[in-house]
Amino acid sequence: MRYNIALLKGDGIGPEIVDSAVKVLEAIGNKFGHEFVFTPYLIGGIAIDTCGEPLPKETVEGCLASDSVLLGAVGGPKWDTLPGNIRPEKALLGIRAAMGLFTNLRPAKLYPALKGECPLRADIVENGFDIMIVRELTGGIYFGERGMREGKWGEEAYDTECYSRMEIERIAKVAFETARKRGKKVTSIDKANVLESSRLWRKIMHETAERYPDVEYSDMLVDNAAMQLVRNPAQFDVVVTSNMFGDILSDEASQITGSIGMLPSASLGETTRGLYEPIHGSAPDIAGQHKANPIATILSAAMMLLHSFGLAKESDAIVSAVDAVLNAGYRTADLSHGAAYLSTEEITAKILEQI
Ligand code: NAD
Ligand code: IPM
Ligand code: MN
């Protein structure tokens, strides 16, 4: 089969990690007889520098015409002082909305080989953990009404968290369906003790839970959830939460897998076309130093094969290759605690050897 993949390399380490994932996809194509055709488009800071806007029309059209999209990361100090509507990050929200990607799957799993890299006590992670964070991606405070105004104490700025029944119902359904295919347990994270939007969220989660009697359901307040994630991560199976809580909790979950450089993600909507990206950012502090861990992006490519193309065998081949490389003791800088490590290109070569 032939698959058209739009490549959004973006800024900082974005191009380095996307290049690694492309090499891995090409190796998979050769091994299993598929053709992956890659078309690059500009997004983020590089797009601002080249064409004056973070999300050019050609990029949106190219993504919508593709079979799926692979993204590196956007942003960096160079563009940090631009107004909110032309920042690199705005492009990310724009492409997620334009593609209708309301679901963001962020799997946080402890690879057995990385137990020693997990900052939690050995007895806590003895049996590992395997969490699927289902983050709502096109609603909430990221997309609510915002602005500046004169308030009681003069100049003030505001952002609003708003969730409709429709938005909560559709992400709830994804969470319960996902749980059915794995540990049959859903924890919904909210702040229903304070926020009206969370109270609607919780009410609809409860309604949905009644339709899935085979799935164990509970809710948890977000402050407690942040604590429980490091106290006992193995208690979680599927975690469903709002856009902003999901953003924050997934970075926390990533670190207990060893490094943020390990966590992939899949952003999905109603069609098979998705957007796949590591959960981390453009890491400007290490860009160009050959130190970036490409595994989160490589595993994102594996998620693309599975979720967009239905290529389970091919997807597993990538995951097994990563597993084998980690089991053999190879580490990138983020996982090496100052000991010897492989460069982005070297670890990619090790993964390619396994495919
Ligand atoms: P970050 O995730 O880029 O980096 C946080 C820390 O993790 C840094 O020390 C970085 O070196 C390290 N790190 C991240 N990915 C790594 C990898 N693959 N290998 C090794 N180390 C890695 O977060 P930040 O520093 O808060 O943000 C930097 C920029 O990225 C900002 O402009 C931010 O808006 C943007 N950002 C973009 C995305 C995205 O494009 N999806 C996500 C998060 C942040
Ligand atoms: C992420 C990022 C983005 C988000 C930013 C860069 C807009 O942090 O994908 O996790 O908050 O969704
Ligand atoms: Mn984030």
Please indicate, yes or no, whether the overall pTM of this predicted structure exceeds 0.95.
yes
Structural domain count of the chain: 2
**Residues 226 and 145 both lie in one domain:** yes
**Residues 139 and 250 both lie in one domain:** yes
**Residues 125 and 231 both lie in one domain:** yes
- Give the pair of three-digit tokens for residue 191: 């702040």
Residue to mutate (ligand 1; options 104, 137, 280; most atoms within 8 A of CB): 280
Phi-psi label, residue 340: left if phi above 0, alpha if psi -120 to 50, beta otherwise = beta
**Residues 249 and 329 both lie in one domain:** no
Alpha carbon nearest to ligand 1 atom 11, residue: 283
Q: What is the pLDDT of residues 134-188, one digit of tens each?
A: 999 999 999 999 999 999 999 999 999 999 999 999 999 999 999 999 999 999 9
**Residues 31 and 76 both lie in one domain:** yes
Angstrom CA distances, 207 to 176, 211, 325, stand at 12, 7, 44
Give 238-288 as a DSSP string: EEEE-HHHHHHHHHHHHHTTT-GGG---EEE-SSS--EE--SS---TTTTT
Has residue 31 been placed in a domain? yes
Has residue 350 been placed in a domain? yes
**Residues 174 and 252 both lie in one domain:** yes
Determine the pLDDT at residue 338: 86
Listed residues 231, 256, 281: the one ending a domain: 256
**Residues 72 and 157 both lie in one domain:** no
**Element (H or E) spanning 107, and its range?**
strand 103-109
Has residue 73 been placed in a domain? yes
Listed residues 206, 223, 256: the one ending a domain: 256
Q: Which residues in the chain show pLDDT less than 70?
A: none
Residue to mutate (ligand 2; options 79, 85, 146, 247; most atoms within 8 A of CB): 247
**Residues 319 and 355 both lie in one domain:** yes
**Residues 77 and 30 both lie in one domain:** yes
Determine the pLDDT at residue 202: 98
**Residues 91 and 154 both lie in one domain:** no
**Which residue numbers are catalytic?**
142, 191, 223, 247, 251
Rounded to the nearest whole angstrom, what is the distance from the C-alpha of residue 276 to the centroid of ligand 3?
Answer: 14
Are 296 and 278 within 8 A, CB to CB?
Answer: yes
Has residue 351 been placed in a domain? yes
Alpha carbon nearest to ligand 1 atom 4, residue: 283
Q: What is the pLDDT of residues 284-331, one digit of tens each?
A: 999 999 999 999 999 999 999 999 999 999 999 999 999 999 999 999
Alpha carbon nearest to ligand 2 atom 12, residue: 247
Has residue 114 been placed in a domain? no
How far is the first Cα of the chain from the last one, in angstroms, to the nearest whole number? Answer: 19
The CATH number that applies at residue 150 is 3.40.718.10
Has residue 18 been placed in a domain? yes
Listed residues 187, 222, 256: the one ending a domain: 256
Rounded to the nearest whole angstrom, what is the distance from the C-alpha of residue 92 to the centroid of ligand 2?
Answer: 8
Phi-psi label, residue 91: left if phi above 0, alpha if psi -120 to 50, beta otherwise = alpha
Has residue 8 been placed in a domain? yes
Within 6 A (CB) of ligand 2 lie 75, 89, 92, 247, 279
Has residue 310 been placed in a domain? yes
Provide the domain limits for residue 52.
1-109+259-355
**Residues 183 and 265 both lie in one domain:** no
Determine the pLDDT at residue 84: 86
**Residues 247 and 125 both lie in one domain:** yes
Determine the pLDDT at residue 278: 98
Determine the pLDDT at residue 209: 98
